[in-house]
Chain A
Amino acid sequence: MKAWFYPLYWFLRKECRQLYRNLDVRILIVLFPNIILLVVPFAADYTVKDLRVVVVDHDRSAYSRAACQRIESSGYFLITKTAPTIDEAEKFIKNEDADMILEIYHGFNQDRAGSYKGLSIQTDAMNAVKAALAGTYMQGVLADYFNTMTEAAPALAQIDIKKAYWFNPSQNYPFFMVPGLIAYLVTIVPIYLTTIMLVREKENATIGQLELTPLGPFRYLIGKFFPVWVITVVLFFYGLLIGYLIYGIVPKGNIAIVCLFLGPYVVISQLMAALIAYVSKTQLMALLIAFFFMLNFILLCGIFTPVSSMPTWAAKTATLIPVTVFVELCRAVMMRGTGLEGTGLIFRQLLMVFVPLFALTWFCYVYKRK
């Protein structure tokens, strides 16, 4: 038993020292997580607010002014400009000085029939989500205005609708971003670090020397994985700490559930890294491949673009990406307070990735070497 651990001990010692000495690794461990955790949540605010409206008022009556006032007081819109003609207004849109044009025709308040022709809206639809929400808000505000202005209709809307936003009633963006970003960090950092540590050995041709030692492929991988694994776990708790200290995020559920998944999850990322390192000869190649994965991960993992709004096939593919699954787990436990019994699906999804990855790595590193 001791004879088995002895080479591993020396190998681990070498790995730790190399990690410690490496300047780039320090950049990666210190700079990268802090950029992600301290800048991104402040920057990523998707709230659709202060939509800038250009009004083209052909009516110029007290009614049209009242309508404009109603629009401004709704809280979603700012009337920033007025223009005499629609062409003038469109210039504002082209220069990105406005998001929306509201055209009020002459005598718009005379017509009180249901389908309304006295007004028209034009929305800058370059950003599809914003345009869709802006349109919905505008329709709502104008409907409200006409309901209060028209004597025939009751003064209030027909149904008294209350809205509840569960799990995040204050609609706070960092609450939503930080758990996802922590999950992202504990994926990317081990992928990069492990890839670098493995490929460097190849590029410097020191792997040939290692093959001559009694260290087998299994212990070689353990020695490569373990220090990075520890760093990643520490990073996870650092992320939680930052989340608590800066954004005031207290996990709603039991954080032990995430920890339970964290260990095997980091290994999954490292197995991916081992495969990337296996196919690439140089660090440039390995990092370009890793970069490609990173780009896909960041856009498909549901941090910035919700998985629920992808086409069905893409959403299915996304669940094969371990980051997506882990982001979902972090959010479920930290925001909704999901218990262990609610994580069955996540466990199965992770297992589905783990088994082939493990088999493939085994095949590449252990089986093929014999």
Chain B
Amino acid sequence: MNELMIFAGKEWRHVLRDPVTLLIVLLLPVCALFIFGYALTNELNEVPVTVVDLGNNQLDAELLLKVNDSPYFETKYFPYDLRTMEDLFLNGELKGAIVLPPDFETKLYKNARPQALIVTDGCDPNAARQISAYLERLLLEYSNSLVPIGFSSLNIQNQMLYNPGLKSQFTFIPGVMAVVFMIICSVITAMAIVREKEKGTLHMMVIAGAKPVYIYYGKALVYVVIALVMFIMIQAISVMVIGLPFRGSVWLGFLMGILFIAASLSCGLMLASLTSSQNTILFLTLFVMITPTMLCTGFIVPVENMPIVLRWFCLLIPSRWFYIGMQRVMFQGQGLTGIWFQVMVLVAMTGAFTGFTLYKLKNSLK
């Protein structure tokens, strides 16, 4: 234990001597959190759309106003025919349009089932479907207010569980937190060790009688402390500044955080035991690790739509488990019974990484 603390003390001095890197490491997640807390949403926001009236309908001006009133849309362009509309679509200046045929109004009042066309820029299929669904609802609501027939605007009570405001931060904040932690924790730990390897000081310490295990875990200890400070800071910001709820037990969230930090750090230690060049570490973590982590955590890309092989692969990513567990604790307010599986997986992962590292150390540095 004493030996461990000696190495932790040594690493602590290393960290203090390089304040710029420490500052970057501490500030990076905070900046990321702010940017994503405020900038990233998935709700439509003032998408440029329009209503094109091919005949002489009286309705279109009113419908335009109604469309413009909706927070999702804005109307900037008013093309008169399909040709100009097409040009606007081609240049990306319009994302959606309701096209009314000449006989729309007369047929609507005669109850003769008029036709209408909703055009969307289908490049982004998801956004297109959202735009077209909202435009359809607006059109139906409007026509129903003129000629009330049928249940076209059914008002079924729809309760949004856990996230009544439909805020995207509920997915982005825990996701960004998970990815940034995973990358930063493993990168800095691995770098701290490999730097000594590269300079040859690690071997000198081993020759002097220090056990490599103590060197490795003494260093990791310092980063556990730094990561915990970071974790508490990020949680505080996301609750106090960004205004996310924390419905579950804070201690449980803390437990999730510690377990995830342990998993990421032991992943970093494993990488360090495998390589001996700083550049390789950097490239491995920042390129090879980041893409799978980003994808498989589940906050950018829905995991349930992935091919089965990739879904299995997602199970191997620690940040995925942290992400699910954190969401359950923070937003659903679940207790230990709800997240025991995630906890177990993180513990198992930490164990596996540590076991591998110890095995490697036993064989390599004799």
Residues of chain A having any CB pair with chain B under 8 Å: 23-24, 27-28, 31-32, 35-36, 39-40, 42-50, 90, 93-96, 114-117, 119-133, 135-140, 142-143, 146-147, 150, 153-154, 156-169, 171-173, 175-176, 192, 196, 281-285, 287-292, 294-296, 298-300, 304-306, 308-312, 314-315, 317-318, 328, 331-332, 335-339, 342, 345
Contacts and interface: CB of A to CB of B under 8 A. Distances in A.
Contacts of A124: 161-162
B310 A42 contact: yes
B242 interface: no
A142 B156 contact: yes
B156 A306 contact: no
B126 interface: yes
Contacts of A153: 149-151
B166 A336 contact: no
Given A122-B161, A160-B113, A163-B120, A336 B89 contact: yes
B161 A93 contact: yes
Given A133-B129, A311-B38, A45 B302 contact: yes
B39 A311 contact: yes
A295 B124 contact: no
Interface residues of B, number: 111
Q: Which of B111, B159, B161 has the most CB of A within 10 A?
A: B161
Contacts of A146: 151, 154
Given A27-B283, A129-B126, A309 B117 contact: no
A290 to B, nearest CB: 8
A122 B159 CA distance: 5
A132 B92 contact: no
B166 A128 contact: yes
Nearest to A91: B338
B155 A114 contact: yes
Interface string B307-349: 1001000000000000010011001101000100000000000
Nearest to B28: A292
A133 B115 contact: no
Nearest to A132: B166
B46 A126 contact: no
**3 shortest A-B CB distances, which residue pairs?**
A165-B122, A314-B39, A125-B163
Interface of B: 20-21, 24-25, 28, 31-32, 35-36, 38-47, 89-92, 95, 108, 111, 113-130, 132-134, 136-137, 139-140, 143-144, 147-164, 166-168, 170-171, 176, 179-180, 183, 187, 191, 278-280, 282-284, 286-288, 290-292, 294-295, 300-302, 304-307, 310, 324, 327-328, 331-332, 334, 338
Contacts of A35: 288, 291-292
Q: Which of A117, A173, A311 has the most CB of B within 10 A?
A: A311
Contacts of A139: 137, 154, 156, 158
Nearest to A143: B154
A149 to B, nearest CB: 9
A183 to B, nearest CB: 13
Main secondary structure of the interface of A (DSSP, over half): helix
A9 to B, nearest CB: 27
B45 A309 contact: yes
A96 B192 CA distance: 39
Given A165-B122, A304-B300, A336-B89, A159 B114 contact: yes
B183 A125 contact: no
B24 A295 contact: no
A158 B40 CA distance: 37
Contacts of B115: 159-162
A309 B48 CA distance: 11
A128 B116 contact: no
Given A128-B166, A288-B28, A309-B44, A158 B152 contact: yes
A131 B250 CA distance: 27
Given A28-B287, A304-B300, A317-B39, A166 B121 contact: yes
Contact of B283 (A28, A164, A172, A336): A28
28 contacts: A42-B310, A45-B302, A47-B126, A115-B155, A119-B157, A122-B158, A122-B160, A124-B162, A126-B163, A128-B166, A129-B130, A138-B158, A142-B156, A150-B151, A159-B113, A159-B143, A161-B139, A162-B115, A164-B117, A165-B128, A168-B125, A168-B128, A300-B35, A300-B40, A308-B127, A311-B45, A314-B39, A331-B123
B117 A336 contact: no
Given A304-B301, A336-B92, A163 B118 contact: yes
A164 B135 CA distance: 12
B153 to A, nearest CB: 8
A339 B91 CA distance: 9
B164 A125 contact: yes
Contacts of B132: 163, 165
B124 A285 contact: no
B182 to A, nearest CB: 12
B149 A305 contact: no
Contact of A45 (B45, B291, B300, B306): B306
A166 B155 contact: no
A158 B147 contact: yes
A94 to B, nearest CB: 6
A305 to B, nearest CB: 6
B229 to A, nearest CB: 18
Contact of B150 (A154, A295, A318): A154
Contacts of B47: 308-309
B38 A314 contact: yes
Given A314-B38, A332-B92, 19 more contacts: A24-B280, A28-B283, A120-B156, A125-B164, A125-B170, A130-B302, A133-B130, A135-B160, A153-B150, A158-B149, A159-B116, A159-B143, A163-B120, A291-B290, A292-B28, A295-B176, A309-B44, A309-B45, A345-B91
